Amino acid sequence: MYAPLPAAVKPIRVLLLARSESSVRMDVQALRAVGMKECIHLAEAPAALAFLRKEAASGSVVDLIVCDESLRDGPVDAFLSELARERSLCTRPVLALAGTTASAGELRAAGLYVLQRPYSRNDLEGMVQKAMSPLRPPLRVEAFARKKAIPAPVVTPPRSAPGAHKKSGPFTIMDWYDKGIAHLKAGEMPDAERAFMRVLEGQEDHPEAALGLARLYHATDNKQRMQRYLLKAAVSCLRQGDAERANTIAGRLPESMGKNLYTSEAVACLEDGRSRAAAVAFLDAARDGADKPLHQLVARGCLQTPRPDESMAKVCDAFERMGHTATASSLRRRLLHYTPFDGYGTASWLDRFPRLKEVVYVANHTWAVWREARAY
């Protein structure tokens, strides 16, 4: 593990540039975990440049600039190009965060120090040391204006002495996440899987751990499990308010899964035997799409599982355990129970069998959509 940052170079104030605060929530936690006392978030290049100029004029110092690959007003390249043009700013330490290997390669080619997600605290602390080094090269305008390839800084992590920095006391969620990343990089897939699962046991919506598992299953050629955890990462981002990142992750999923993330997550949870998590996902889906009643979402979702009746019953039980007794009763009445019919009135015979009526409704809807698609 890297040695602690010396007090002389440990950054106290960090300017964090990203399209939204939610998109870098995990990055802020990691920065604070390695000693950054103040993280200032800005989302647009003009605001960031104005802030840095004002700071320079007043004699204040931002010790480190950490930037995501994209800002609210476009790629980070425009900001870095303007930063490189100003004598008073071009020598500021910059660390770039990348979400993919391709974008990390492009940023490194521009001479930047780059940290690719997912990363561990050890990775972050080591890269901050490199970015803060007095020997770091200054930013160069032509790297961003002409996309000219510049040799990337060579970063060789120092080896730690055997037995150094051993963890004492109980492991936290972040400790397990760090272990997962370390095992993944070492190719120790069973240990990495175990560590990431421990993270998700402690924090259900942890997009970075879910992405770590997706990367692991991609490496082991398990497409189904890879898609499962890409879906989980996208849903976790949605719940944290980061719809843009959720949509980016959903773009790597089959269209049928990516279109209805919450419903797809509910079905996946039912297949995993996690009925409470499925019920929560169905509630999220109902809130997200107010035009679709909860009973229709549950019916359609459960019909995608091998045993629809059993799945519906488990969802109803889960709602009841969660305290939503009225919702559970309504769903049972609509989807599972036979309703006596006295023979009067103009109601269809299907009204006596609400669940069967729902099945027929869904089947008719599916057929209409398929027929319309064929017409084009």
pLDDT in tens, 232-260: 999 988 887 778 888 888 888 988 888 88
Q: How many angstroms separate the CA atoms of 261 and 252, rounded? A: 12
User: What average pLDDT does the chain have?
Assistant: 77
User: Looking at residue 145, what is its pLDDT?
Assistant: 55
Say whether both 214 and 245 belong to one domain.
yes
Residues in CB range of 207: below 8 A, 6 or more apart? 26, 232, 233, 234, 236, 237, 240, 245, 249
User: Looking at residue 107, what is its pLDDT?
Assistant: 81
Structural domain span for residue 336:
262-371
Say whether both 250 and 271 belong to one domain.
no
DSSP per-residue letters across 162-218: TTTT---SPPPHHHHHHHHHHHHHTT-HHHHHHHHHHHHHH-S--HHHHHHHHHHHH
Q: How many angstroms separate the CA atoms of 357 and 338, rounded? A: 11
Q: Is pLDDT above 50 for 322?
A: yes
User: Looking at residue 174, what is its pLDDT?
Assistant: 82
User: Looking at residue 338, what is its pLDDT?
Assistant: 44
> Strand 94-98 to strand 113-116: parallel, antiparallel, or no bridges (unpaired)?
parallel
Residue that wins the pLDDT comparison between 340 and 203: 203
User: Looking at residue 8, what is its pLDDT?
Assistant: 46
Q: Is residue 246 part of a domain?
A: yes
Say whether both 196 and 305 belong to one domain.
no
- Region of poorest pLDDT, from 49-53, 103-107, 141-145, 369-373: 369-373
User: Looking at residue 374, what is its pLDDT?
Assistant: 53
| pTM score, whole prediction | 0.55
Q: How many angstroms separate the CA atoms of 182 and 8, rounded? A: 28
Tell me what percent of the chain is helix, strand and coil, each rounded to the nearest 5.
55, 10, 35
Say whether both 100 and 127 belong to one domain.
yes
Q: Is residue 376 part of a domain?
A: no
> Strand 74-75 to strand 70-71: parallel, antiparallel, or no bridges (unpaired)?
antiparallel
Among candidate residues 225, 259, 293, the one where a domain is terminated? 259
Say whether both 185 and 115 belong to one domain.
no
Q: How many angstroms separate the CA atoms of 214 and 307, rounded? A: 27
With pLDDT > 90 as the criterion, what percentage of the chain qualifies?
11
Number of domains in the chain: 3
Say whether both 136 and 185 belong to one domain.
no
- Region of poorest pLDDT, from 135-144, 154-163, 188-197, 332-341: 154-163
Tokens standing for 225? 């499990």
366 falls in which pLDDT band (50, 70, 90)? low
pLDDT in tens, 9-51: 455 788 888 887 766 777 888 888 777 778 888 888 888 888 8
User: Looking at residue 150, what is its pLDDT?
Assistant: 36
The structure tokens 């920095």 sit at 165
Q: Is pLDDT above 50 for 356?
A: yes
231 falls in which pLDDT band (50, 70, 90)? very high
Among candidate residues 229, 259, 289, the one where a domain is terminated? 259
Contact between 209 and 199 (Cβ < 8 Å): yes
Residue that wins the pLDDT comparison between 201 and 355: 201
Q: Is residue 63 part of a domain?
A: yes
- Region of poorest pLDDT, from 43-57, 70-84, 127-141, 275-289: 127-141
Say whether both 250 and 272 belong to one domain.
no
| b/e 186-210 (16+ beta carbons within 10 angstroms → b) | eeeeeebbebbebbbeeeeebbbbb
Among candidate residues 259, 275, 302, the one where a domain is terminated? 259
Say whether both 246 and 305 belong to one domain.
no
User: Looking at residue 133, what is its pLDDT?
Assistant: 77
Contact between 304 and 297 (Cβ < 8 Å): no
68 falls in which pLDDT band (50, 70, 90)? confident
Q: Is pLDDT above 50 for 225?
A: yes
Residue that wins the pLDDT comparison between 99 and 316: 316
Q: What are the beta bridge partners of residue 125?
A: none
User: Looking at residue 119, what is its pLDDT?
Assistant: 83
Q: How many angstroms separate the CA atoms of 278 and 297, rounded? A: 11
